[in-house]
Structure 1
C-alpha cells in the first residue's frame, strides 16, 4: 500500500511534466500501462521510452491532477487533465481516469480510461 506522501510526490512529478522520470521512479521494473481496451505496454524501460517519445512531440504541456484522488489499500484512482500543444501546431485536451495497482511504494499496473474522441 502506497503512503500518502508517495502519491503526492508522484502527482507533483507528473504535474511538473516529468512524466518519464515519474515512470522511472514510481513504477516496478515489470509494470504495465493500458489505454482503454488496447493491449498493455509492459516494462518500466519501455513505458519510460514511450513517454519520452511523446514528450519530444510536445511544444508545451499542462498536466493537472483533478482532486480528490482515491486510495483503497493497494489501489489508487487519479483523475488527470492534460493540455498538449503539439509541435505541429495542434492542441489536444484530455481528461482521463488512471486506475493503479501499487506494490508497496511502486505502481505495478495502470489502466487509463478516457474518450479517444478527445484527441
Structure 2
C-alpha cells in the first residue's frame, strides 16, 4: 500500500519529465497499463519501451498532477500532459489514471481520457 509520501515522490518523478524512469522505478515487473478500452500492455520492460517510443517522437512533455487520492492499494491521479511534437504541434491530454498498487509498486494502471476527434 503506497503512503502519501511515496505517491508524492512518484508524482514528482513524472512531473520532472522522467516518465520512463518512473515506470522502471515504481512499477512491478508484471505491471500492466491500459488506455481507455484498448487491450492492456503487460510487462514493465515493454511499458518502458513504449514510453521511450512516445518520448522519442516529442521535443517536450509537460506533466502536472492536478489532484491525487490514496485509498488503501488504490490511487487516482488527475493528470494534465502537454506533448510537443518535433514539428511544434502541442497535444494536450486531460487524463485520470486509476492505479492498483502491490506494496510500494504499481501493479495495474488504467488511463481514462478523451482521445480527441476521430481520425479519418
Q: Sort the TM-score into its range (normalised by shorter chain).
A: over 0.9
What is the TM-score normalised by the length of structure 1?
0.96
Cross-structure match for 2:41: 41
What is the CA–CA distance in structure 2 between the aligned matches of 1:3 and 1:89, rounded to whole Å? 38
Cross-structure match for 1:117: 116
Q: Residue 10 of structure 1: SS of its match in structure 2?
A: helix
What is the CA–CA distance in structure 1 between the aligned matches of 2:50 and 2:9, rounded to whole Å? 21
* The 10-residue stretch of structure 1 (96-105 or 83-92) with the greater mean CA deviation from structure 2: 83-92
Counterpart check, 1:103 vs 2:102: yes
Cross-structure match for 2:73: 74
Q: Deviations over 1:58-110 (max 9, x none)?
A: 1111100002x111110000000011110133110110000000001000000
Asked if the contact 1:94–1:118 (Cα under 8 Å) also holds between the matched residues in 2, the reply is no
Cross-structure match for 1:52: 52
Asked if the contact 1:99–1:112 (Cα under 8 Å) also holds between the matched residues in 2, the reply is yes
What is the CA–CA distance in structure 1 between the aligned matches of 2:33 and 2:101, rounded to whole Å? 12
Structure 1: runs of 5+ lacking an equivalent: none
How many residues are matched?
A: 118
What is the CA–CA distance in structure 2 between the aligned matches of 1:98 and 1:88, rounded to whole Å? 28
Aligned-pair distance for 1:118?
Answer: 7.0
Runs of 4 or more, structure 1, over 3 Å off, are none
Say what the alpha-carbon RMSD is for the aligned residues.
1.2
What is the TM-score normalised by the length of structure 2?
0.95
Asked if the contact 1:63–1:83 (Cα under 8 Å) also holds between the matched residues in 2, the reply is yes
Asked if the contact 1:15–1:65 (Cα under 8 Å) also holds between the matched residues in 2, the reply is yes
